[in-house]
Amino acid sequence: MSAPMPLHGAGHAHAHAASPGLWALAWRRLRADRVAMAALAVVLLFLLSVLLSASGLVAADWEDEVAVNYAPPGFVGADPALAALAQPARPVPPNAFDPLAPDLDRLKAELARRGVAAQAVKAATLPFGADKWGHDILKKTIKGGQTSIVVGLVAALLAVALGTLFGALAGFHGGLVDDLFNWFYNVFTSIPSILMILTVAAVLQTRGVSSIVLILGLTGWTGPFRLIRAEYIKHKAREYVMAADAIGASSWRRMFVHIFPNVSHVALVQVSILVVGFIKAEVILSFLGFGVPVGVVSWGSMLNEAQSELILGKWWQLAAAAGAMALLVTAFSLLADALRDALDPKLK
Amino acid sequence: MLPFILRRLWQMLPTMAGVVVLVFLLFNWVGGDPSYLLAGKMADARAIANIRAQLGLDQPWTVQLWIFVKQILSFDFGNAWSTGEPVAHIITSRLGPSLTVLVPLTVLETVFGIALALAIAFVRGSLTDRLVMVACTVGMSISILVYIIVFQYGLAYKLGLFPVQGWGENFLENLLRYAALPILIGLAVSIAPTLRLFRSFVLDEASQDYVRTARAKGLSERRIVWVHVLRNAAIPIITYVMANLPALLIGAFLLERFFGIPGIGREVILAVERSDFPVIKAVTVYVAAATMVFNLLADLMYQAVDPRVQLK
User: pLDDT, tens digit, for every residue of B146-168?
Assistant: 888 888 888 888 887 888 777 87
Is it the case that residue B99 has pLDDT exceeding 70?
Answer: yes
What digits encode the pLDDT tens for the residues A306-343? 888 888 878 888 888 889 999 999 998 888 888 888 88
What pLDDT does residue A9 have?
A: 43
CB-CB under 8 Å, A205 with B140? no
The number of beta carbons lying within 10 Å of the beta carbon of residue B280 is: 26
The number of beta carbons lying within 10 Å of the beta carbon of residue A98 is: 11
What letter represents residue A166's amino acid?
Answer: F
CB-CB under 8 Å, B19 with A190? yes
What letter represents residue B134's amino acid?
Answer: V
What pLDDT does residue A87 have?
A: 60
Residue in chain A closest to B148 (alpha carbons) equals A307
Q: What is the phi/psi pair of residue A159, to 5°?
A: -65, -45
> In angstroms, rounded to a whole number, what is the distance separating the alpha carbons of residues A218 and A337?
24
Q: Does B50 touch chain A (CB under 8 A)?
A: no
What digits encode the pLDDT tens for the residues A72-130? 777 777 666 666 665 656 666 777 788 888 888 888 788 777 766 555 667 767 777 77
Q: Does B250 touch chain A (CB under 8 A)?
A: yes
Mean pLDDT of B243-252: 78
What digits encode the pLDDT tens for the residues A16-50? 667 777 788 888 888 888 888 899 999 999 999 99
Residues in chain B within 8 Å Cβ distance of A226? none
Does the CA dihedral B194-B199-B204-B209 come out positive or negative?
positive
Look at residues B193, B207, B224, B176 and name the one whose alpha carbon lies nearest to residue B110: B193
Confidence of residue A228 (pLDDT cuts 50, 70, 90): very high
CB-CB under 8 Å, B19 with A203? no
Residues in chain A within 8 Å Cβ distance of B150? 318
Cβ pair A216, A244 in contact under 8 A? no
Confidence of residue A348 (pLDDT cuts 50, 70, 90): very low
CB-CB under 8 Å, B284 with A191? yes
Residues in chain B within 8 Å Cβ distance of A188? 22
Look at residues A125, A140, A58 and name the one whose alpha carbon lies nearest to residue A317: A140
Look at residues B124, B249, B140, B132 and name the one whose alpha carbon lies nearest to residue A333: B140
Provide the mean pLDDT of chain B. 84
Confidence of residue A180 (pLDDT cuts 50, 70, 90): very high
What digits encode the pLDDT tens for the residues A159-170? 999 999 999 999
What pLDDT does residue A11 have?
A: 44
Of the CA atoms within 13 Å of residue B80, those in its CB half-sphere come to 22
What pLDDT does residue A152 have?
A: 93
The number of beta carbons lying within 10 Å of the beta carbon of residue B255 is: 27
What pLDDT does residue A5 have?
A: 44
**Percent of chain A having pLDDT more than 70?**
86
CB-CB under 8 Å, B153 with A311? yes
Cβ pair A339, A297 in contact under 8 A? no
More confident residue, A119 or A260: A260
CB-CB under 8 Å, A306 with B149? yes
Mean pLDDT of A253-261: 90
> In angstroms, rounded to a whole number, what is the distance separating the alpha carbons of residues B213 and A200?
53
What pLDDT does residue B108 have?
A: 92
**Percent of chain B having pLDDT more than 90?**
5
CB-CB under 8 Å, B246 with A192? yes
> In angstroms, rounded to a whole number, what is the distance separating the alpha carbons of residues B198 and B236?
8
> In angstroms, rounded to a whole number, what is the distance separating the alpha carbons of residues B31 and B273?
14
Q: Which among B14, B22, B250 is the nearest to A195, CB-wise?
A: B250
Confidence of residue A6 (pLDDT cuts 50, 70, 90): very low
CB-CB under 8 Å, A194 with B143? no
The number of beta carbons lying within 10 Å of the beta carbon of residue A336 is: 22
What are the helix (H) ranges across A205-259? 209-219, 222-235, 239-246, 251-253
Confidence of residue A1 (pLDDT cuts 50, 70, 90): very low
Look at residues B83, B63, B59 and name the one whose alpha carbon lies nearest to residue B71: B63
What pLDDT does residue A198 have?
A: 86
Residues in chain A within 8 Å Cβ distance of B32? 205
How many Å lie between the alpha carbon of B142 and the closest alpha carbon of chain A?
5
**b/e code A257-287 from CB counts within 10 Å (16+ = b):** ebbbebbbbbbbbbbbbbbbbbbbbbbbbbb
What pLDDT does residue A88 have?
A: 58
Burial of B302 (0-12, 13-18, 19+ CB in 10 A): middle
Does the CA dihedral B75-A194-B269-B186 come out positive or negative?
negative
Residue in chain A closest to B293 (alpha carbons) equals A190
Length of chain A: 348
Q: Which residues of A touch B (CB under 8 A)?
A: 183-184, 186-188, 190-196, 198-205, 276, 280, 283-284, 287-290, 300, 303, 306-307, 310-311, 318, 322, 325-330, 333-334
**3-state secondary structure labels for all residues of B100-115:** HHHHHHHHHHHHHHHH
Look at residues B146, B163, B155, B182 and name the one whose alpha carbon lies nearest to residue A307: B146
What are the helix (H) ranges across A289-315? 299-311
With a CB-CB cutoff of 8 Å, which residues 263-282 of chain B face chain A? 268-269, 271-273, 275, 277, 280
What pLDDT does residue B142 have?
A: 86
Is it the case that residue B57 has pLDDT exceeding 80?
Answer: no
**3-state secondary structure labels for all residues of chain B:** CHHHHHHHHHHHHHHHHHHHHHHHHHHHHHCCCCHHHHHCCCCCHHHHHHHHHHHCCCCCHHHHHHHHHHHHHHCCCCECCCCCCEHHHHHHHHHHHHHHHHHHHHHHHHHHHHHHHHHHHCCCCCHHHHHHHHHHHHHHHCCHHHHHHHHHHHHHHHCCCCCCCCCCCCHHHHHHHHCHHHHHHHHHHHHHHHHHHHHHHHHHHHCCHHHHHHHHCCCCHHHHHHHHHHHHHHHHHHHHHHHHHHHHHHHCHHHHHHHCCCCHHHHHHHHHHCCCHHHHHHHHHHHHHHHHHHHHHHHHHHHHHCCCCCCC
Is it the case that residue A149 has pLDDT exceeding 90?
Answer: yes
What letter represents residue A343's amino acid?
Answer: L
Mean pLDDT of A9-22: 59
Q: Which among B15, B16, B153 is the nearest to A310, CB-wise?
A: B153
How many Å lie between the alpha carbon of A203 and the closest alpha carbon of chain B?
5
Mean pLDDT of B207-224: 89
Does the CA dihedral B123-B124-B126-B131 come out positive or negative?
positive
What pLDDT does residue A328 have?
A: 92
> In angstroms, rounded to a whole number, what is the distance separating the alpha carbons of residues A134 and A125?
10
Is it the case that residue B217 has pLDDT exceeding 50?
Answer: yes
Mean pLDDT of A185-203: 87
The number of beta carbons lying within 10 Å of the beta carbon of residue B258 is: 21
Residues in chain B within 8 Å Cβ distance of A334? 137
Residues in chain A within 8 Å Cβ distance of B16? 190
What pLDDT does residue A8 have?
A: 45
> In angstroms, rounded to a whole number, what is the distance separating the alpha carbons of residues B48 and B61?
18
What pLDDT does residue B25 have?
A: 86
Is it the case that residue B53 has pLDDT exceeding 80?
Answer: no
